[in-house]
Structure formats: structure tokens, C-alpha cells
Amino acid sequence: MRFLKLIAGLFLISILSIAPVASAEEFSVGEFVSDSVITTQIKAKLLATENIDSLHIKVETDSDGIVVLTGTVKSAAEKENVYNIAHSVDGVKKVL
């Protein structure tokens, strides 16, 4: 299971390091980089944390530093742990 998390994490990081092409009207490059860095850091921390099934948790970050977590967890304690990990990343202003 840990090996699967490692492979998924490396895959995720490699995908997120490729910036998609978008018009300047949608967002600036700095905003996109900042948002994707926050998302990547949260996902990497979740993958590195034991007792969290991070493959079932989706992380989205908007340009204001608001993180939205969706998915399933096994317990209230795991939910709180995921929330705390997301909130611990620099640049995160709010976690929903």
C-alpha cells in the first residue's frame, strides 16, 4: 500500500508540474503556480502520512488560497487529520 501511495504521489507531482495553456483573462501565471504548488504540497503531505487513504481525497485550491477537500475518510479522526494537514501548508487561508 505504501508503495502504491509513493507511485501515485510521484505521478501526481509529475502531472501537476506541467502547466496547462490558458488565456491571460482566466488567471495569471503566478496565480496558477501558487495554486498548484499549494495543491501539490497538500497532496504530498497526505501521501506521506500513514493511516490516511489519500487516494480517495481530492484537493482543489483557488486563487485566494481557499482549499476544498472532497472524498471519503474512514473516521472523524482521519477527517480532522486531513483538515489539519491542509491547513498547515503555506498560502492556505481557508479549508472547506
DSSP sequence for 7-51: HHHHHHHHHHTSPPP--TTT--HHHHHHHHHHHHHHHHHHHHSTT
pLDDT 10s digits, 26-71: 555 555 557 889 999 999 999 999 888 888 899 999 888 999 999 9
How far apart CA 29 and CA 82 sit, in angstroms, is 28
- pTM for this model (two decimals): 0.67
Say what the pLDDT of residue 14 is: 60
Number of neighbouring beta carbons within 10 Å of residue 64:
9
How far apart CA 2 and CA 17 sit, in angstroms, is 22
How far apart CA 69 and CA 54 sit, in angstroms, is 11
